[in-house]
Structure formats: structure tokens, C-alpha cells
Amino acid sequence: MSRVYIFLADGFEDIEGLTVVDLMRRAGIEAVTVSIKETREITTSHGIEMKTDRVFSETDFSDADMLVLPGGMPGTKYLGEHQPLTGLLTEYYAKGGKVAAICAAPSVFAKLGFLKNRKATSYPSFMDQLDGAETCEDPVVVDGNVTTSRGLGTAVPFALSLIAQLMGEEKAQEIAESIVYRG
């Protein structure tokens, strides 16, 4: 079974983070939510209080098949400032691991140098922060081991793309049909 870690900080965009978790779990992927705080309690950008599956400092990521960052503010800012997370992302990316980010979160990848000479997208007001990338307005962009997406309105195609990368296009189509998604 594939294992994906989705990193959450206070102020993450609810739909961008939880759509990925929901659709991956429907596909049979072990989608693990991870708080970057020292507690499992997180408050979303719209004030929903929730608990993550794990806390960053107590998690071994050596079995990861993909690392995912949802957007939202100030969640993206907190993710980008969390040095243990940026260190993990850098090490994982350097080994060719699959990384994905949506909305404002591709800006974290840009700051880490992941988007240099790659095609990428993000939330419109963050496009100018994608230094070194060939930016576009596609809903989801996959360039090598890096996937980026635009925002809440592209959360379903983003999640389906991640499923296709891990389990194949047929599984992604099966999940799309099961949720009555017509992209």
C-alpha cells in the first residue's frame, strides 16, 4: 500500500488538504495527516478544529511514497518556516521523491529551489513567487517528481492526479466516477 504524508499547519485551506486525504483513502492509499506543531490539534483557515493522525516530531517518514503540502494562509507561511519540514522536503526531493503542493504552497517549493527550470502553477497571487519556474495556468502541473496546482477549485483534479501517479490512471478514473466528478 502506498503511503502519503500530508503536512498541516494552523490556517491550512480545509478543502485543499482534506480532499487529498479523502480521495486517497477512497483509492486505498494510506494518507497520513501530520501536524507540524507539537500537538495533533490543528485549526483550519476557516476555523474548523481537527486532529491530525500524527505529529511531525514523532514520525518516521522513511516509508513515504509522496509528500504533500496544502495551501491556505497562514498555513503555507508556517509550513515554509518549519525547518524540520523544509529539511525533510529537501532531502526527499534530492532523492527523486514525489512532492506535491497546491494553492500558495508551491511557493515553499520555489524557495527550496524545486521549481527551477520546471513548469509549475499556483494560486494567482503567488505566481510571481515561483522563481525559476515556467509558470502556467493549468489546473494541475506534473513536471518530473513535482506536482503543483492552483487552489480550492482544483483540489479534486489535484488529488486525482496524485492517485494516478501512485496507482495508475484507471484507479484515478474509478475514484472520479465514484464521486461523480466530471473534469
Annotated catalytic residues are 103
Q: What residues are paired with 57 via a beta bridge?
A: none
| Contact call for residues 158 and 141 (beta carbons, < 8 A) | no
